[in-house]
Amino acid sequence: MTTASATKPRRDTLNLRIPAAERNLIDRAAEATGKTRTDFMLEAARRAAEEALLDRALMVASPEAYGEFLKRLERPAQPNERLRRTMRSKAPWQTT
């Protein structure tokens, strides 16, 4: 028989000292999205952390691969039916 503590992952505590106005703003946003303050803040912090790390991602390529990449960038675009269809369609924010 398993206990509740054996099935749930361990969660650490993170204490923050923030101005009441900011806490109230976070609480309103969390309530508006149907989340707890903790879930709202954890999701926002996780998203910000992922973006910060992705912004610093480094791609490494051999000189040959980089040369091929530059050649492809310099080639003129070759329109195809999918591109033509996309260019003819209205943007979602345009009125019909």
What contacts 96, CB < 8 A, 6 or more positions away?
90
**Which tokens sit at 36?**
């707890």
N-to-C CA span, the chain: 61
pTM of the predicted model as reported, rounded to 2 decimal places: 0.53
**Residue-wise pLDDT tens for the chain (96 aa)?**
555 556 778 888 989 999 999 999 999 999 999 999 999 999 999 999 999 999 888 889 999 999 999 999 999 888 899 989 988 998 888 876
* Encoded amino acid at 75, one letter: R
CA–CA gap between residue 38 and residue 44 (Å, rounded): 10
CA–CA gap between residue 36 and residue 29 (Å, rounded): 10
Q: Where are the domains of the chain?
A: 16-76
